[in-house]
């Protein structure tokens, strides 16, 4: 049993070690994936409309992920005023994302990355299909800010501060 646990632990570390989140200054991935309504979202088209927060969270409707999403919802007007769009990404299927959106009245797009292709494109570490909590701010098609261990309750405030700092 100890050998099996050691092997699984090593495998988990190896899986996470392979992924390196994208750095500031590199082009943002031009991937596509279904949203909470099952409609394919082309990230390139979203980026073209203005600054975009792409945030990865482990699982819809869990305590930390709910706190993070609701913080973004509660600061939605401030984000919109700055022109920031939001794409929330998790490995959930579209129906789980839809329930999450409806239950908490989330005003932004939720991406159903059940195949992990979006997380892979951004270099987001995953374990057993669950992405690590991390955020990227995209402007003019490039990563301009990243938060490797995104907060939950203060996430939206962190994003707004980072965006304001870019203008200086």
Output 9 or 166, whichever has higher pLDDT.
Answer: 166
The answer, yes or no, to whether residue 15 has pLDDT greater than 80, is: no
pLDDT tens profile 63-83: 999 999 999 999 999 999 999
* 3-state SS track over the chain: CHHHHHHHHHHHHHHHHHCCCCCCCCECCCCEEEECCCCEEEHHHHHHCCCEEEEECCCCCCHHHHHHHHHHHHCHHHHHHCCCEEEEEECCCHHHHHHHHHHHCCCCEEEECCCCHHHHHHCCCEECCEECCEEEEEECCEEEEEECCCCCCCHHHHHHHHHHHHCC
Its CATH class, for the domain covering 2-166, is alpha beta
pLDDT tens profile 97-127: 999 999 999 999 999 999 999 999 999 998 8
Residue 70 is a catalytic residue: no
Please identify which of the residues 54, 65, 86, 89 carries the catalytic annotation: 65
pLDDT for position 19: 60
């Amino acid at each position: 049993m100890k050998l099996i646990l050691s092997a699984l632990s090593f495998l988990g570390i190896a899986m996470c070690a392979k992924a390196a989140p994208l750095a500031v200054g590199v082009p943002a991935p031009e991937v596509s994936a279904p949203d909470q309504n099952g409609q394919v979202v082309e990230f390139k088209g979203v980026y073209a409309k203005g600054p975009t927060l792409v945030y990865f969270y482990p699982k819809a409707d869990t305590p930390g992920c709910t706190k993070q999403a609701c913080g973004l919802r509660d600061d939605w007007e401030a984000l919109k005023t700055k022109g920031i769009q939001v794409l929330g990404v998790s490995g959930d299927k579209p129906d789980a994302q839809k329930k999450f959106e409806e239950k908490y009245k989330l005003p932004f797009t939720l991406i159903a990355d059940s195949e992990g292709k979006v997380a892979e494109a951004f270099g987001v570490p995953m374990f057993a299909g669950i992405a690590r909590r991390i955020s990227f701010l995209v402007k003019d098609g490039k990563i301009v800010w990243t938060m490797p261990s995104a907060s939950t309750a203060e996430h939206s405030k962190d994003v707004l501060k980072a965006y304001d700092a870019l203008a200086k």
